[in-house]
Every structure is written in structure tokens, then in C-alpha cells.
Structure 1
Amino acid sequence: MRVEQEYKKTGYFWLPESEEDKIPGVLTISDGGRIELEIVGHFNEAIQASTDNTEISRIIGHVEGDGLVTLNDCFYTVKNIAFGGISKSKILVQQVLSGAAWEKDEAVTFNTLSFSVDCLDEWVGLSGIKVDRDWNNKTATISYSAPENISLMLNNGLKLKICFAYTLPGAPKVTEAKITQRAYFRLESDRLIDLSEFTTLVFKITNLMCFATNEIVTIKNLVATSREIQFEPITGKQSPVPISIYYQSIPFAEKTPKKNWHEMLFNFKTIADVAEEVFNKWLDAYEDLSPALNLYFSTQAGAQKYLDGKFLALAQGLETYHRRTSTETLMKPETFDSLVEEIIKGCPENHVEWLKGRLAHGNEINLGKRLKKIIEPFKQHLGSSSDRSKFLRKIVDTRNYLTHYSEDLKDKTAKGREMWAICQKMEVIFNLHFLKVIGFNEDKIDSVVENSHLLKRKLQEI
């Protein structure tokens, strides 16, 4: 989670069941979403409780500027006990809900959740700002008409909107007139749903944005509302209380990326006529492909610090992807079962269990064949038949060596820059399949490859 300005606020904090026992403290939320609460003393003055209990499910607070806050899933990182003096304790917090307080075991549910991600304005590419200049008469006219919200119905019954927030210049403005616009996503539900359901969707949509923009983008500005939490402003009409949400989300990039639309794999305009289908196909893909998707995105986010680890994650991801999308076997299941039965008949009784274990996966195709099947739809982008064979053989030998350390494969493995180049091509294979998953046809995929300098550069590495 991106926190563009450090959140550091003083206040009083207490346990939901002990509101009378308030403790002063400082709540800090750093960029990335790391949350720490520093308090004077601790929440249970009994020495036995102080030494034994380190976890606290929920803490309530009242902080400057924001009012009520709810801190969920907390545990002590420093728990000091003072005998007659003043001591401070530190608590790591997994989640902050700013704007309201929940009871100890009360479920956190909402009807809406709004959020943004890095580079979203550039990806959406829609602006209501229009500037007309007349250089001869030294005049300029700036007008603004907010773009219409884009509404997409998701298969899970929720609605996903792409909305536009804006600010207009106030009065009087003598030397400056400023109009700003910001795109953001808004998830809406007719029923109250658990916050975790919303954040799971946010994670998946953020990964789609990472894929589309060719960049690790981070979520920011999470605000939720519930029809059960209302306030009455001066208008006299009740309105939902906006609840700001903070937590340590993934993916996260320390440096805020800057990306122009032509540097992206595709932008919103590319999918505008089928956007609902694209988002649904991507979200539905997580039902079957989440292990492969997570392995791919872990390599993009830098989870593997060494090249060997990145290579193995990509190779495993491609193998997992094929396992999840194909039921192909070496022979028909009934033929294989009959063969196994015949083999076991001739096995000494004391080795039968061992043999069954060895044969359990004997009908599966090997990694080389899986990779060949994976690249088949896109082989025209991966060189000649000879080039593709060498490329696949190198992946298999390198994977087997790094996994099993067979000495006979040592001289056949990729190392250094060659391994890096192979990783680049494996990433492209993932990209092409992800495009297929979200509904891009062959012509549209060819167009993406032709217009993406990044993909072409990766394909030319070897």
C-alpha cells in the first residue's frame, strides 16, 4: 500500500472490552503500509498477563484529526514492564480502519470499497480537461466536463466502476486556476460483505493492472463505506461514513512508477468495448490458475533475490499453468491403469507399496512436453523450430540440474546472461498466455507483440 504522506498521530487507545482504561500513544503508518503503535505501558497491568500475552485481536483508539480508529490483528514487538517508572511498549498492527470503532468480535463488513493504483490515470487515458489557446490574442480557455463513470458487472454479483474525482479552482484566484482529475476503482455490493472479500478482489485487480501496465503498481487511497455506519452532516440528510483503510499490501514498489500509455502492454482504450469480459475473465482465472499467477507475479515483484530462484519460479509457474489448463496424459487413463495392474502383479509383495508410489504419477507428461505445448500457440514469435528446441531443452536441463543437481547436466545448464535471457522469454510466454486468458484473439495478441517494444526486446535477447 502506498502512503504518500507519513501518518503519525497521537491519541488514546484502549481494548474494546475496557473502554475506561485508556492509554496514550502514537500511531504511525509508513509508506508500504507498515503500522506501529507505541503506547505508554501496556494494556494489561497484571505482571502474569504482561509476560504471557503478546497478541491482541483488536484495539480501539481516538487520534488527532481522524477521531475513532480500529486496529486489527495486533501483537507486541516490545513489551516493557516498569516497576514505579514509565515504560513504553510497541505493537505491530496488521490493519487500521480510520473513522469508526468496532466491538471486540464484531465482523467488519462494507457495501463499497474505493481504491486507486499507480499509473491508473495513464492506463485509463480519459480526461475531461479541455484547453483552447489563442496565441494571437493571448487568451486561453480551460473547461472541464467530468467523464462518465464506467460501470462493469462482475460475475460474483458485485459492480466494478471506474470513477473520476476532480477538484475545481476556488475563488478568488488571481495568479492561478487549477483543475485536477483522478481516476479510481469503486467496488459496490448490494449486501454487506466482509472486508477480506473486498481486499481479495483489490489484490486480483491490482495484479491485472501490473500485467497491463508492464509495471509493479501499488494500491493507494482505500476508502470503504457501510450503510450501517452513517453520519448526519449539516444538510440534515444521513450519509455513509468514509472509512480509510490501511494495511501492508502486496505488490509494493518503493519508488512510485511513471508510465506512459505507449509503454504499457495494453491500456483501457484497447479493451474498452469488452472491458467487462476482460475483468471477469481475469478474476475467474484465479479459481484455477492462482498458483501459476502467484509464481509469475512473485518474480515481477522481486521476491526472488537471485537469478536461479527467479528461473525456477518461472519454470515451475509455466509447468503449473499447463497442469491447470490441460488434462493431457501419456496414454489413455484406462490403458495406464491396466498397465499398472499388470506391473504390480509381478512385483514382490513387500515392494508393492513402494512401486505404487513410483507409478502414481507415471502417466503424466514431462516438463519438456508441457513446455512444447505451452509455446505451440505462439511459436511464430519464438524463432525457428531449431531455436525453439534449443530454448526448451535449455529450460529443462537447467531446471533439472538446479532441482536435482545431476552432475551430468552441469555443463548443459544456462548461466549468467543466458539464464537471464531465458527468463525474459519465459516472462513473454506468460504474457502471451495471460492475454489469451482475458480474451485476446490471435490477431489482437499479434498486434500487442508488434506494438510492444518491451516484448520485442525480450524476445530478441537470445
Structure 2
Amino acid sequence: MRLDEEFKKSGYFWLPSNPEKRIPGILVIKDGGSIELEVVGLFDDSIDGINRAINGSDALDRIVGHIEKHGLVTLDDCFYKNRNISFGGISKSTVHVNRAFLGVAYEEKEIMLFNHLKFSVEGIDEWVGRSGIKVEHQFDKKSASITYNPPEEIILNLNNGMKLQITFTWTLPGFPSQKEAKITQKTYFKLSSDQACSLNDFISVAYKITTLLGFAIDKTVCIEKVTATSEAVRQDIGNEKTALVPISIYYPSLPFAKNRPKIDQHRMLFRFGQIQNDAERIVNNWFGAYDQIDPALNLYFSTKAGAHKYLDGKFLALAQGLETYHRRTSKMKLMDEDAFEKLTSDLIEQCPEEDREWLSGRLRHGNEVSLSRRIKSIIEPFKELLGTSKERNKLIRAIVDKRNYLTHYDQSLETAVVKGEELWVLCLKMEAIFQLHLLQILGFTQSEVKSVFENSHELQQKLKKI
């Protein structure tokens, strides 16, 4: 979760089971969503509580509090990170918090359910590309007029029963505006469910939406500004009317990159405008991809988020990701399954009894095709983008040799494998191949994939012959 500045607020905190025992503390939320609570004293300073502390019982589960400027807060899934017991002095302890809910105080065992989750993602304004701000200049009269009409919301129906809205918030100039007139607009995603859902359900969907946006932008982008509402949590606004209480939520969301990405519309793989007529199908295809190729997607995004400190690690993740992708999307085998089972049975039957278990283990995956054949099959739909037959074979050989060397450290391959800049270029090409296939998974036709390639300078550079 992206925070532009550290969140640090003082307040009083207590356990829902003991609201009379309130202790001072400071709640700190850092960029990335890590949350800590530093308290003075202990939530339970009874003899039993101190004995539990001495014996290492660190779980606190849920803490509620009241902090400056924000009022009520609920801290969930908590435990002592370090705990100091000072007899006669001041003791400070640090509590690790997994999730913080600002604006509400939940009871000890109260189940948190929500109907709506609104969040923004880095790059969403540039990707959606819709603005209600219109500026008209009249240079001859040295004047200008600025008008604002909110863009229409976009509503997509998800196969999981939720609705996904692309919505907009805005601020207009205050009064009087004698020196400055400022209009701002911000784009958000909003998930809605008629049936109240757990936060985990919403977070899972929000994560997939974020990775879709990151794939389209070709950057690691982070969630920011998350708020939720529940039909069960309302506030009185007078005249016998109630309104939903907006609950700000903080948690260590994924994906996350330390530095905010530089977003450039011209460097995106594709923009919302290119898929707007088919957006619902494409978004649902992306969700379906997680059911089919989840491990491959995780490996791909790990390389984009900088999870691998060294280039060898990034290469291995890409190689494993491509292999896993092919395993999940292809039924390719060396021979017909029935024929292989018969061959296996015949071989085991003729094998000495004391070696049959060993042979059975060796044959278990004997019908799997080689990495070389998998990479060749993956390349086939886009072979015209990857050079001549000789160049493609060289690419396949480079991937297979490097994977085998790093996996088995075969010394005979040490002088043949790519290193340094050549390895970096190889990783770029593997990443591009991954992207071309993910476009297909989204539902892009061959001609549409080709159009994306022709209009993407970044994608062309990754496959550039060096």
C-alpha cells in the first residue's frame, strides 16, 4: 500500500473485552502498509497478564482505540512484537498490527463484513484517460474558461457476483476564489456486493485488479487510499436519516515496490480506451487466468516487482514461469497416455523386484516433454516476431542451457551459457514472450496482439535483435 507520508497519530487504546483499561500509545503506519502500535504500559497488568507475558503469550487479536483527528480505530490481528515489563518504572511495548480500520470500533468477536471497497491504484488516471475538465482559451481576449462535468461511471459485472465500477471523485474551487481556482479529479475502482463479504474476499479481487493494471501499464503499481463501507455500519445524519460510515483501511498490500513508478501513457502495453468495448470480458478472463495459471502469474510478477536481487534469480523465475504456464495450458506429452502406461507397466514387470520401486519413481514423469520443446511451443504463435528459424533456435538453446546450468551446475555448460548483458537481454525477451501470451489469455486475438506489439515501443525493444 502506497503512503505518500508516514501516518503517525497519538491516542488511547484498549482491549474490547476491557474498555475501562485504556493506555496511551502512538499508531504508526509506514509506506508499504506496515503498522505498529507503541504503547506505554500493558493492556493487562494483572498478575495473570504479567505471567502470560513472561511465558511468551504474545497474541492480542483485536485492539480498539481513539486517535487524534480520526476518532475511533480498530486494530486487527495483533501481537506483541516486543514487550517490556518495568516494575515501578515506565514500560514501553511495541505491538505488530496486520490491519487498521479507521472510523469504527468493532467488538471483540464481531465479524467484519463489507458491501463496498473503494481503492485507487498508481497509474489509474493515466490508464483510464478520462477527464471532466475542459479548458477553453480565448487568446485574443486574454481570457480562459474552465468547466467541469464528471465523467460517467463505468460498471462491469464480475463472474464472482461483484460489480466493478470505475468511478471519479472531484473537488471544486472554494468561495470566494479571488486568486486561485483549482479543480481536481481522481479515478477509483469500486467493488460492490449485495451480499456482505469478508475483507479477504475484497482484497483478493482488488489484488487481481491491481496486477491487471500493472500488466497493462508494464510497471509494478500499488494500491492506495482504500476505504470500505458496510450496510451494517451507519451513522445518524439527522431528520431520521442515516449514511454509510466510510472506513479507511490500511494493510501491507501486494504488489509493492519501494519507489513510485513513472507512468507514461505512451509506454503502456495497452490503455483502457483500447479495451473499453470489451472490458467486462477481458477483466473476467484475467480473473479466470488466476484459476488456471496462478503459479505462473506469481512468478512473472515477482520479476516485475524486483523480488530477485540478482539477474540469475530473475532468469530462473521467468524460465520456471514459462514452463509452468505451458504445463497449465497444454496437454503436450511425448506419447499417447495409454501407450505410455502400457510401456511403463511392461518395463516394471520385466524389472527385478528389488528395483521396481526405484524404476517406478524414475518413470513417473517420463512422459513429460523437455523444456526445449515447451519453449518452442510457447514461441510458435509469435515466431514471426522472434526472427529467423536460426535465431529462434539460438534463443531456445540459450534459455535451456542457462536453466540447466543454474539448476544442476553442469560444468560442461559453464563457458556456453549467457552472462552479463546477454543474460539481461535474454530476460527481456522471455518477459516479452510472457506478455504476448498473457494478452492472449486476456482474450486479445492474434491481430489485436500484433497491433499491441506494433504500437508498443517497449515491447518492440524487448524483442529487438542485439
Q: In the alignment, what sits opposite 2:434?
A: 430
1:352 counterpart SS class? helix
User: What residue number does 1:88 align with?
Assistant: 92
Which of 48, 51, 58 is residue 48 of structure 1 equivalent to? 51
- Per mean C-alpha deviation after superposition, the further-off stretch among 256-265 and 26-35 is 256-265
Q: CA deviation at 1:404?
A: 0.7
**1:368 — aligned with what?**
372
Say which SS state the counterpart of residue 256 (structure 2) adopts.
coil
Q: 2:381 aligns with which of 377, 401, 410?
A: 377
Offset at 1:253? 2.2
Aligned-pair distance for 1:461? 5.1
Identify the residue that residue 205 of structure 1 maps to in structure 2.
209
Within the candidate set 101, 110, 116, 1:106 is matched to: 110
Distance apart, 1:216 and its partner CA: 1.1
Given that 1:421 and 1:461 are in contact with CA atoms closer than 8 Å, whether structure 2 keeps it comes out as no
Which of residues 404, 407, 424 in structure 1 aligns to 2:411?
407
Query: Does structure 2 retain, via aligned residues, the 8 Å contact 1:44–1:50?
Result: no
C-alpha contact 1:424 1:461 (8 A) present in aligned 2: no
**2:181 is matched with which residue?**
177
Deviation at 1:305, TM superposition (A): 0.3
Q: Does 2:64 match 1:63? A: no
Q: Is the 8 A contact 1:69 1:98 kept in 2?
A: yes
Map of 1:321 onto structure 2: 325
Q: How many residues align?
A: 462
Unaligned runs of 5+ in 2: none
Displacement of 1:236: 4.2
Indicate if the aligned counterparts of 2:257 and 2:306 stay in contact, CA closer than 8 A: no
Q: Is it true that 1:9 corresponds to 2:12 in the alignment?
A: no
- The yes-or-no answer on 1:223 pairing with 2:227 is yes
Conserved 8 A contact 1:310-1:423: yes
1:59 is displaced (CA, Å) by 1.0
Cα distance between partner residues in 2 of 1:368 and 1:73: 47
Quick one: distance in 2 between partners of 1:24 and 1:349?
73
Over residues 382-418 of structure 1, what are the superposed CA-to-partner deviations in whole Å (9 max), with x where a residue is unaligned? 1110000011011111101100111222222111111
Instruction: Give the deviation of 1:271 after TM superposition.
Output: 0.3
The farther-off stretch of 36-45 and 125-134 is 36-45
Which of 355, 358, 367 is equivalent to 2:359? 355
Write the mapping of 1:13-162 to structure 2, written as runs, cut at 5 A.
Answer: 13-45=13-45, 46-51=49-54, 52-162=56-166
Whole-Å Cα distance in 2 between the matches of residues 353 and 320 of structure 1? 27
Could you tell me how far apart the structure 2 residues matched to 1:228 and 1:313 are? 44
- Specify the alignment match of 2:422 in structure 1: 418
**Among 242, 253, 257, the residue aligned to 1:253:** 257
Residue 234 of structure 1 and its aligned partner are, at CA, apart by 4.1
Which runs of 5 or more residues in structure 1 are unaligned?
none
Q: Deviations over 1:94-130 (max 9, x none)?
A: 1101111222232211000000011110000011111
- Residues 146-171 of structure 1, C-alpha deviation per residue, up to 9 Å, x if partnerless? 00000000001100000010111111
Deviations 1:236-257 (A, max 9, x none): 4211100100011111122222
Aligned to 1:414, the other structure's residue is in SS state coil
Distance 1:156 1:54 in 2: 37
Residue type of the alignment partner of 2:38:
E
CA shift for structure 1 position 55: 2.1
| TM-score normalised by length of structure 1 | 0.98
Three-state SS of the structure 2 residue aligned to 1:81 is: coil
Which aligned runs of 4 or more in structure 1 are off by greater than 4 angstroms?
A: none
Structure 1 vs Structure 2 CA RMSD: 1.0
1:77-109 C-alpha deviation (Å, 9 max, x unpaired):
221000111110011111101111222232211
Distance in 1 of aligned mates of 2:19 and 2:459: 58
